[in-house]
Amino acid sequence: MKALYQQIKQNQDVRKSLSQFREKIKSTGELEKAQALWKEDGQCLQELLRAEDAKTRKNAALLIGDLKRQDLLSALWSAYEKETTLFVKSAYLVAMENLNITDYKTSIKNRKEELESSIPKEEEAKHFYEELSALEGLYVKLFGRTHHTFTGYGKAYDILLLGNRRQLPALLEQLKAEETIQTYDAKVLSAGIRLPNAQIKTLQEIRTWSEMLFLVPGMKTVAADPMQAAEKILQSGLAEFLEKNHKEPGPFYFRVEYKSKQEGKEKNAFLKKLSAALEKGSKRNWICSPADYEWELRLVETKNGSLNAMVKLGTLEDTRFSYRKEYLPVSIKPVTAALLVELAKEYMAESAQVLDPFCGVGTMLIERQKRIPANTSYGLDTLGLAIEKAKENTEAAGQIVHFINRNFFDFTHEYLFDEIFTNMPFAQGKTTPLDIYQLYEKFWGKAATHLVPGGKVILYTHNKEHGDKLAPLEGFSKLQEWTIHSKEGTYLQVWEKMK
């Protein structure tokens, strides 16, 4: 980093050195070191904004933003106003995203309105919309934006519910069990279940789907060409779908999620072209805002090379897991816990005394209680922070669970439990595979001392082979097993204590 700084100062290959210096900040995360190098060199950065080479000016502006040089904001804005090379103008605005721009409120508003009332030349459209998009970001930062309220809960939609691919039959079974959900024309696809005539409120009673996507008339499949895709999307029923299902008018902020074999520059180029075309074609009623969006255009490449096109709404309220106020990086996802409960429900009794010896933030016990109310539940964990978070989540869920900050292997209790339901630890960080094997050895012996005869152990495990080998040695018999995630190697096992 210091060598690159010296090269820039000595006017050696400046454009490339600026670019590499910025990359160095991103790759090392050493922002403070970079700021220290440039601390006394504001004049040099200002001179670079006046460089003859356009890309040098662009990289200098972006570096000022990276360094968060508030003292150079005035120079940055002045350079922006004087800039005549179109592809550079948006860089000044992007740099300002890291600065306090309150003093330029009126200037930014006026420039945005000026561009919005203009029609760019065809050859200038790309950079014109890049500048307008960057201005939009600054405008929202200063003035905020309208947040849209979804109002279409009483209507029927063509919906794709995504869920665990290995366990879609369990999701379909749940859907069929709900009398208010029409499933006669439901179709099980590779990634989820399509319901051509579904109402949202009834689907929100089901806890095992992970995402709800809308199939909008006229754009269910589009070409893998950004301009052709944009044209079909703009001509579809998407504009009407957004307008009629929200209380407030546009603009609507969006992002594009593109799942294909394309990678890197090729994929980024596709996203930029498509997003720009959608902005332009909608007359900026749809504004691309990847970091703060209200709807997502989901594009998934098919075997024949075309793209399935779906919409995910961020304006749609989903309160299924609103109790989960607190979590840890290793916490199980609530939708996964809900799936585990649904799969193992026939082995759970409403009157059961339940123990989770590795409870984390309490998600497993909370989801079990929501599906099959237990008699009394206990949760143990060696991490005090996890126990505190578990108590907060359980209170938010309106449940009662007895949480104890204690090692399971030191735990004693006055009566036996009917069920152990837990997410078993697995090797990560400093925990080795040998550590996990030894933990399983101790677990099965300890579990046997806490369960009544016929008691169940329901495990979510990354190491099913340990259970297969060790559980029978302690008098347990396997009743059922499901594959949850093949790539992650996770399984749900149900064991019964025989004696």
- Check residue 289 and give its pLDDT: 86
pLDDT digits (tens, 9 = 90+) for 63-115: 999 999 999 999 999 999 999 999 999 999 999 999 999 999 999 999 999 99
Is the pLDDT score of 227 beyond 90?
A: yes
In terms of Cα–Cα distance, which of 86, 28, 26, 32 is closest to 57? 86
Instruction: Give yes or no for residue 246 having a pLDDT over 90.
Output: yes
* Residue 90 pLDDT: 95
Contact 314, 302 (CB under 8 A): no
Task: For residue 272, give both structure tokens.
Answer: 């930029």
H, E, C per residue of 60-72: HHHHHHHHCCHHH
Instruction: Count other Cβ atoms within 10 Å, centred on residue 108.
Output: 21
Q: Can you give the pLDDT at residue 18?
A: 94
Farthest CA pair distance, the chain? 85
Q: How much is the pLDDT for 157?
A: 95
Task: Decide if pLDDT at 290 tops 90.
Answer: no
Res 418: pLDDT = 98
Per the CB < 8 A criterion, the answer to whether 260 and 156 are in contact is: no
Strands 211-214 and 156-162, how do they pair? antiparallel
- pLDDT of 117 strictly over 90: no
Residue reference for tokens 């709900």: 178
Give the pLDDT score at 116. Answer: 85
Q: What is the dihedral of CA 269, 270, 272, 278, to 10 degrees?
A: 160
Task: Look at residue 180 in the predicted model and tell me its pLDDT.
Answer: 81
Per-chain mean pLDDT for the chain: 94
Are 316 and 150 within 8 A, CB to CB?
A: yes
pLDDT at res. 452: 97
pLDDT at residue 463, rounded to an integer: 97
Give tens-digit pLDDT for 141-158: 898 888 899 999 999 999
> pLDDT, tens digit, for every residue of 26-70?
888 899 999 999 998 889 999 999 999 999 999 999 999 999 999
Per-residue confidence at 184, pLDDT binned at 50, 70, 90?
A: confident
How far apart are alpha carbons 229 and 278 in whole angstroms? 9
Model pTM above 0.75: yes
